[in-house]
Amino acid sequence: MKNKSFLIGTVGVAATLLYSVAVAQDSFVAEAKRYTDLVSKPNLPWNGPTTGPSAQRNKSVIYVSADQRNGGARGVGKAAAEAAKVIGWHFRLIDGQGTVSGRRNALRQAASLKPDGIILGTVDAQEQADEIRDIAAKGIKIVGWHALGKPGPDRSMPIFTNLATEPTDVGKAAAMYAVADSNGTAGVIIFNDPIYAIANEKTNAAINTLRKCAGCRVLIVDTTPLKNTATAMPQRTAWLLRSYSGKWTYSIAVNDLYFDAMPPTFIAAAIPGNGYPRNISAGDGSELAFERIRKNRYQIGTVAEPLRLHGWQAIDELNRAFAGQKDSGYSAPVHLVTPANIKFDGGKYNEFDPDNGYRERYRKIWGVK
């Protein structure tokens, strides 16, 4: 009888534990769905700066892009050029062409032109630390976009401020969408380029979020470099499909570029555009990504950053630096674009361009028409 009682007791404890795990899992999936709904709401009101210095005169700015093939760096550069024209500054763009040496040469060329300010368009500050310090020593003001792992100033680098949506929020949003869309059963491959600090922040946040989902699994973190995606991803995708057949149901990438080269391999494998694996990007929200999401074809979401807004903010932050004032402290909130909200958030540029009046806000701050 003692053995029988012990067996019954053991079964009861095991059943209670399984029930507790199931309840916790259901609770987390529900939380993921609530969070996904929250971060995908369109047309959030402006919560950025409303005051600041008037336009500083006779300034020249150079935008150093890490790689103009990257939709994020390209979009911010276009907007910075637009804002520079409005505020009355001379603007020039130099392309680092996607290589370490190219970015170094671009920074040196920019410095030789003796501008008043330089914007780093996803040029990683640690990678180019010596060049950046040399530029700052010449009295040139520097603002970064995705140049550091976090938004805001950084004590270790002479960068006035770094612009980005909080990367841990971006990684979390992508992962929560996978949890919600899969009802807590996602088998995830994460695509990361560890050379970029901001990419690592996104990746770690996605992993930490998925660990809270009992029925989800991170299958592998793939580290194909962003600069090689066009040539490497077709074969890499084919290998991953063979290696994780039936287990790979979701992808989370730190940039939409990873998904640009995947569709031909999926088509060859007879995977429909709305099939599995489902692709979610943790930033930037490129034009091609918006097209895929709009058509529900090989991508279901992107945690898009407001590239145009960031370009205008970069000019505003430089204006504050030229005026001897502090940075604005503004970081745009996280936003998820899906097939359900893309008709609101697509914007005339086929990228996330929030309808919150930011251009008019900055014009008013600068005192220009």
Q: Last residue of a domain, which of 261, 286, 302?
A: 302
**CB-CB neighbours of 193 under 10 Å:** 23
Bond preceding residue 277 cis, omega within 30 of 0: yes
Residue 248 and residue 178 share a domain: yes
Residue 183 is part of a domain; what is its CATH number? 3.40.50.2300
Mean predicted confidence (pLDDT) in 353-358: 90
Strand, coil or helix: 46: coil
189 bridge partner residues: 220, 251
**CB-CB neighbours of 62 under 10 Å:** 23
Residue 250 and residue 218 share a domain: yes
Residue 286 and residue 324 share a domain: no
Mean predicted confidence (pLDDT) in 215-238: 96
Residue 323 and residue 285 share a domain: no
Q: Are residues 12 and 163 in contact, defined by beta-carbon separation less than 8 angstroms?
A: no
* pLDDT, tens digit, 9 for 90 and up, residues 268-303: 999 999 999 999 999 888 889 999 999 999 999 999
Residue 172 and residue 152 share a domain: no
- Inform me whether the pLDDT recorded for 88 exceeds 70: yes
Q: Last residue of a domain, which of 262, 283, 302?
A: 302
Q: How far apart are CA 246 and CA 154, in angstroms?
A: 44
- Tell me what the pLDDT averaged over the chain comes to: 92
Closest CA relative to residue 196, chosen from 100, 105, 93, 55: 100
Total tally of structural domains belonging to the chain: 2
Write down the pLDDT at residue 23: 54
Write down the pLDDT at residue 17: 42
Write down the pLDDT at residue 347: 63
> The whole model's pTM is what?
0.85
Residue 171 and residue 193 share a domain: yes
Residue 296 and residue 199 share a domain: yes
- Inform me whether the pLDDT recorded for 20 exceeds 70: no
Q: Last residue of a domain, which of 302, 320, 344?
A: 302
Mean predicted confidence (pLDDT) in 240-255: 97
Residue 296 and residue 314 share a domain: no
User: Is residue 5 assigned to a domain?
Assistant: no
Closest CA relative to residue 79, chosen from 358, 326, 367, 368: 358
Tokens for 196, please give them: 């970029």
User: Is residue 153 assigned to a domain?
Assistant: yes
Residue 171 and residue 115 share a domain: no
Tokens for 311, please give them: 């370009």
User: Is residue 88 assigned to a domain?
Assistant: yes
- What are the φ/ψ torsions at residue 121 (nearest 5 degrees)? -90, 90
Under the banding of pLDDT at 50, 70 and 90, the label for residue 369 is confident
What's the domain range around 86? 60-165+306-331+357-366
Q: How far apart are CA 261 and CA 89, in angstroms?
A: 38
User: Is residue 349 assigned to a domain?
Assistant: no
User: Is residue 340 assigned to a domain?
Assistant: no
User: Is residue 4 assigned to a domain?
Assistant: no
Closest CA relative to residue 310, chosen from 263, 352, 268: 352
Residue 273 and residue 313 share a domain: no
Q: Are residues 213 and 28 in contact, defined by beta-carbon separation less than 8 angstroms?
A: yes
Residue 172 and residue 88 share a domain: no
Kindly report the length of the chain.
369
Mean predicted confidence (pLDDT) in 122-148: 96
Residue 185 and residue 73 share a domain: no
Write down the pLDDT at residue 19: 45
Contacts of 347 (CB under 8 A, 6+ apart): 308, 353, 355
Write down the pLDDT at residue 366: 98
> What does the longest C-alpha to C-alpha distance in the chain come to?
93
User: Is residue 29 assigned to a domain?
Assistant: no
User: Is residue 252 assigned to a domain?
Assistant: yes
